[in-house]
Every structure is written in C-alpha cells, then in structure tokens.
C-alpha cells in the first residue's frame, strides 16, 4: 500500500495564509489605498478601497477576474473600515479586455467571433463563437473536461456575450489587442528538443513508470511543464536531468509509481480557517490528488488561483484532467516551500540536494529521522532515474 504522505502545512502555515503573508509577492508587501474597488485587481492584505461610498480593508491577499469578490459579496476577504481617498465612491469595473476586443462586424454583416476550436488553448480575454453565441474566456482553458463540448450556456470558464450571426472561421483568429490563443504543447521526442522533452523522452518516462495509470500521460506532463519553463530547464544539461529525475522520483513515490490518482486514506483536510476562496466549499473534500497528492483547502485555493482554475470549488478536477493534475504538481514543486525552507525546484537549482526536495514535500514526517525507510525509497528512485536520464552524480546531500 502506498504511504499516506500529506502536504500539511500545519496550523502556523494556515494562520499565515489567513493573514495573506504567504500569498504576497515582495512588491505587494506594503498595503495602500487603492481607490475604488475594481474587478480583477490584485489586492494585498491591508489594502483599502472604496465601494458604494464605504471604505473597506482587505483581510488577505487576493485577486480574481470574474469572481465578483467585491467587499459586500466576499465578507471573508474584506472588513468595513479604514482610510482611503483618491478614488470614486462607486466602483469602476476593470475592463476584461483591451480596447478593440469588442465584436467587430464580419464581412457580410455578421458579428460572430471566430469559431471555438476543440483542443485549442485559450487565455482570459479570448473571444469565440459557438452555435450562434459569442463567449469570452474568463481564464486559461484547454478542453476543460467540465465543458468538453466547448462554451455552452453560461458559467466559467466561458462568459456569454450574447447571440451573433454570420458564423465564424474554423480556426481561432486573435482579436486586436487581445491575448492570442496558442496551440497545446506537443511532445518533444527526447533529448535534443526543447523544454522538459529535451531531458525526458516518452520512452524514458515509460521506463521509469512501467505500470503507471493511463491517467498520467506524458503529453499531460509536457502541457503542464510548458507553464514552468524553468522546471528541468535551469543550469547545464546534467543539472536539468537531475531535476527531472528528482521530480519524477518524488511524484512516483507519492503515487506508488504513478498508479494512484487519489489518496488511499481520504480525509477532509479542511483547515477550518478562511482562505481567499472561503473556508471549505460545501460537500468538497481536499484529500490528496495528482502526482504531488495536493492536499488541504488552502493549497487547492492557492494552486487554483495560480493556474486560473477554481480548484477550491472543484477539487476533483485534479483527478479528472491529466494536464491539471500535472500542473498542480509542478506548481507545488516550483513555488511552494511546504515544511522546508525553499521550493523543490530551488533545492535542485541551488544545488541544495535531493534531500531538500523531500523536506519541501513532507518535512518532519520523513526528515530528521521521521521515516528513514520512506526517505531511502525516494533516494532509490532518484538514483535509478538519474541513471535512466544519464544525469551523473548527485550534487548536495540525497538524505534529509
């Protein structure tokens, strides 16, 4: 049976999250009067705004375009009071797309946007048509399994813009001054390519995980890795291969060789403390899912915000979409210290050693003598995978 390795960040981390400390980039650390509240703006904890003639103070760092987190609708994010001037008393909505992205009549009098294309990647602000209706993407989306028939009716990730006529082209054509839909990354056939595919081929991936669940696709991994070009892309070739081996060793350990999609012992993992998304969505459980076994309500909230997905409200999306599952794993690997002092990516890029990555994932549950057998199991996989990739000797300690 696979060990239950939980990504718990304990009470102190949850408390810091409530204060917004773990969500604040360095350049947003200072609170400020931000004028009238506006949709889609990133607010830091302590920022003040005006809304309908009343001043409010942000309780946590947050920001989401299309979520409607105004001070009245989201009391868990705002408290009434504070000092703020310089903005109008009535909130001015932030434009969701740059000027020029409104529908322009097509030749012949039509007004439909280019037709939605299955499998194409869209980002927030892209506009498409489908079945006589125009839509705007609220966030990054590519064949979201919840909306696998494309934009229909209403609801994220596609916001309806009304009916249209005149059809639409068969391929997405970018509107002026709007984000450009990009095709999904394609697999690179092994060393010699670019990105992760340059250091980890499909054949090597299959060799590492001969009994893997079909859910964990190589293409899904490459799609997720395209979000994080520094993943296995930092340093010389040997360093890049070591990071790929380290990540796959940890992901394999968490999932029993990429076999398990969800945690075996499925707890609630609701901290009971407010996150920028709320406390815990009704009826939702935040047990481990995906290659890193993402756990806890605050991790689902923060990962979802980073990826442009509402994982807090729909944690099962991590278990339904391979690209999303891999994306949560790489989000954690690249950005989260967890119980350690730096993210796993930094551990490898800074030559702090494989043991540092174990600490970032499971901390004292395994390190400092917590479970030496599990630590050794990870090291064994790392050693094997380095050999498969030709990564050479370790740099830094393997143990933690």
Dig out the tokens for 338 from the structure. Answer: 């967890």
Question: Choosing from 28, 39, 243, 254, which is the catalytic residue?
Answer: 254
Show the CA angle centred on residue 158, arms to residues 153 and 163, nearest 5°.
50
Q: Is 254 a catalytic residue?
A: yes
Q: How many CB atoms lie within 10 A of CB 153?
A: 9
If phi over 0 gives left and psi between -120 and 50 gives alpha, with beta otherwise, what is residue 158? beta
If phi over 0 gives left and psi between -120 and 50 gives alpha, with beta otherwise, what is residue 191? beta
List, in sequence order, every beta strand (DSSP E) within the chain: 33-36, 48-51, 54-58, 78-80, 127-130, 133-137, 158-163
Query: CA dist 336 to 13, 114, 308, 359, 387, Å?
Result: 12, 39, 17, 11, 27
Q: What is the dihedral of CA 321, 325, 327, 328, to 10 degrees?
A: 140
Cα–Cα distance measured from residue 275 to residue 297, given in angstroms and rounded to the nearest whole number:
8
User: So which residues are the catalytic ones?
Assistant: 254
């Amino acid at each position: 049976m696979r060990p239950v390795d939980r990504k718990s960040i304990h009470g102190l981390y949850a408390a810091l999250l409530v204060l917004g400390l773990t969500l604040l980039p360095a350049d947003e650390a200072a609170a400020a009067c931000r004028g009238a509240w506006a949709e889609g703006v990133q607010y830091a904890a302590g920022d003040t705004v005006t809304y309908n003639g009343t001043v409010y103070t942000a309780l946590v760092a947050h920001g989401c375009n299309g979520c409607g987190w105004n001070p009245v609708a989201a009391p868990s994010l705002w408290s009434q009071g504070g000092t703020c001037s310089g903005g109008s008393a009535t909130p001015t909505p932030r434009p969701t797309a740059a000027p020029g992205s409104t529908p322009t009549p097509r030749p012949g009098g039509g007004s439909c946007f280019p037709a939605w294309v299955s499998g194409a990647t869209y980002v927030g602000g892209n506009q498409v048509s489908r079945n006589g209706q125009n839509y705007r993407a609220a966030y990054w989306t590519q064949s979201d399994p919840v909306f696998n028939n494309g934009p229909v009716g209403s609801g994220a990730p596609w916001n309806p813009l009304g009916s249209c006529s005149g059809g639409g082209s068969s391929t997405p054509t970018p509107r002026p001054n709007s984000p450009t839909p990009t095709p999904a990354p394609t697999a690179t056939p092994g060393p010699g390519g670019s990105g992760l595919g340059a250091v980890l081929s499909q054949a090597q991936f299959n060799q590492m995980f001969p009994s893997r669940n079909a859910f964990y696709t190589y293409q899904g991994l490459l799609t997720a890795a395209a979000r994080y070009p520094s993943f296995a892309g930092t340093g010389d070739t040997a360093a890049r291969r070591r990071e790929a081996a380290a990540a796959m060793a940890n992901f394999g350990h968490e999932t029993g060789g990429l076999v398990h999609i969800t945690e075996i012992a499925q707890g609630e993992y609701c901290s009971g403390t407010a996150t920028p998304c709320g406390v815990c969505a009704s009826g939702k459980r935040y047990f481990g899912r995906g290659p890193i076994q993402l756990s806890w309500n605050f991790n689902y909230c923060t990962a979802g915000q980073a990826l442009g997905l509402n994982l807090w409200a729909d944690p099962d999306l991590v278990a339904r979409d391979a690209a999303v599952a891999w994306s949560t794993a790489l989000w954690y690997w690249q950005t989260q210290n967890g119980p350690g002092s730096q993210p796993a990516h930094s551990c490898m890029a800074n030559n702090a050693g494989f043991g540092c990555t174990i600490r970032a994932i499971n901390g004292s549950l395994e390190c400092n003598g917590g479970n030496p057998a599990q630590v050794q199991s990870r090291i064994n996989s790392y050693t094997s995978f380095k050999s498969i990739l030709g990564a050479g000797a370790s740099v830094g300690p393997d143990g933690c």
